[in-house]
Chain A
Amino acid sequence: MAVFGRGRTAAAQTGANAPVEGAPPLRANRVTKSYLKGSVIALDDVSFDVHANQVTAMIGPSGCGKTTMLRLMAGLEYPSRGDVTMFGQPIMGPGPERGMVFQAYTSFPWLTTRSNIEYGLKLQGLAKAERRERAEHFLDLVHLEGFANAYPAELSGGMKQRVSIARTLAQNPALLLLDEPFGALDAQVTWEMEEMIIEIIERENKTVVVVTHDIQEAIYLADRIIFYTRQPGRIKADLPMEFKEGRRFHKKEEMLVHPGYVDMERRLYAMMREEIRGRVS
């Protein structure tokens, strides 16, 4: 709830300060996040850079602090120590330059698909005609042309999530933060959505950070995977997806038969097993 009080001034701060030349889109700088007066350490002295136009996936066992890191990036929470910077400026609150898609359905139930997409544009002060045009473009992008006037209650889970994605992208954020965006969807819809996300990322050329618990999804979406340990959350491994050789697979089955994928999946499963075994439960 702290964001309520600080949000206003904070958004203004991040917006007003000029980006530092050569600074990465996001940098975690010795970030520690503890809860309950330090008795729970979600993140412990974590540092890394997010590279421009890359998809960075953060994975790890449940409770490893991957979602906490994403929330720090979004500005929905603040670190206990260290800082998270965007183009060199410390993040002091949420803002539209860091668009976020949540696992829960967050499209506003009282607005139609089109109005949901236009909502953020309205906040940015865009004129009505331009809002319409942008909404139209992003409706097409997520294949919801025929559902412009539908309310969220009329849409399936996958469609609702596409509304959230379209609404976030319409604001043209410098960074796209995805918090287990397909976690609530069934398997078939999930891979459809994964392929759609790849298509969109290629087309819109975005810097993306995605949190997931699904190893296959992480490998499919990511150019680089950051694997977290569990409590205290530290970086266990930082793995570039070298087997992709700089390209992305448009169909998931193309990746599944790639020997590089099989190796990577095996490695990640081994790491996950290591982490789970270490858990006292």
Chain B
Amino acid sequence: MAQGQAGGTPPSDAASHPGDEAPAPVFKPPRQPFLEVLGALTQRRTVVLGVAGVIIFFAVWEVAHYVTPEEKQRFLPAVEQVVAEIAYLFAEKNFIADVGTSLYRIYASFFVASLIAVPLGVFMGCFVKARALISPTTGGWRYLPAASFAPLLLVWFGPTDFAKMALLFLGCFFFLVALILDNTLAVQRELIESGLTMGAKRRQVVGITFRAAAPAILDSMRNMIAVAWTYLVIAEIIVATDGIGAVMMRAARFLHVDIMMGGILTIGVLGVLTDISFRIASRVLFPYLRVRR
């Protein structure tokens, strides 16, 4: 009521808008320093800065190569030499087969690890008794370094693909279980309780929990597969038959630093591409996370 009366006679200094007057001058906020606390950034500038970081990295490498004394330069080849070496490997040395083998090993073993770890983690997250039974064991396994199983796996399975993939599996499985258990436990309790009050049975409660934790689980997998690359290289270096790691190991014998660095760079690129694929998968699988009101 009081508002209605006030609306009739607005205070002249607050709400008058004479049409002929120019709009107030644009406000100039203080200049934003580079290290702005809580600063905002446009999408474009984020990309620009990210690319700049990569360029700076390669520039430092390039400079390091040219300041190295001539006779030692072959231990630190220039960026273009490494890139040329990668191109040569692909063109002449059937490097694509080695890359394919490595990719197959990493994806296949990670897939199997996830296939067991995701249901196991969700199961433990849903049922307190299952968690009490299983979690201390799987948790403890994380402290057994996977690399230390390499000799054992070699004795058991010989220089086979299986031995390498078993090492990869051991390297990421138990961490994956622990991460997914955490993701599942982080599901808001009321979400489950509201399911129960709607008549959800045990099976549906597990479904609700899984759906609620799924985006975080995919994130955990994305972070874990980066670690899996480490074990891939370890496996391929210890039993150097084929794969990117084996190519690098053979190169080491002849001090072909450019090949070794080429291998590392290739793995880096493949890792980044994997990361990007996971992010795209997240967008496709969980479109509801990206909507905003």
Contact = CB atoms under 8 A, between A and B. Distances in A.
Interface of A: 1, 3-5, 7-8, 11, 74-76, 93-96, 98-100, 102-104, 106, 108-110, 119-120, 123-124, 150-156, 164, 167-168, 171, 177
Contacts of A167: 198
Contact of A7 (B191, B196, B211): B196
Contacts, number: 91
B193 A76 contact: yes
A38 to B, nearest CB: 22
B133 to A, nearest CB: 14
Contacts of B194: 100, 102, 106, 164
B191, B202, B211, B286: most-surrounded residue (chain A CB, <10 A): B191
A76 B197 contact: yes
Contacts of A108: 191, 208, 211-212
10 closest cross-chain pairs (CB), A and B: A96-B199, A106-B194, A120-B198, A151-B288, A100-B197, A94-B196, A104-B190, A154-B293, A102-B190, A1-B128
Interface residues of B, number: 28
Given A76-B193, A106-B194, A153-B292, A7 B212 contact: no
Contacts of A4: 126-128, 202, 205
A108 B228 CA distance: 33
10 contacts: A7-B205, A11-B199, A11-B201, A74-B197, A94-B199, A104-B190, A106-B188, A106-B191, A110-B212, A120-B199
A151 to B, nearest CB: 4
B293 A123 contact: no
Given A3-B196, A106-B194, A152-B288, 16 more contacts: A4-B202, A4-B205, A7-B202, A8-B202, A75-B197, A94-B196, A96-B199, A99-B197, A99-B198, A100-B194, A104-B190, A108-B212, A153-B289, A154-B291, A155-B293, A164-B194
Contacts of A150: 291
A180 B290 CA distance: 29
A172 to B, nearest CB: 12
B146 interface: no
B199 A154 contact: no
Contacts of A164: 194
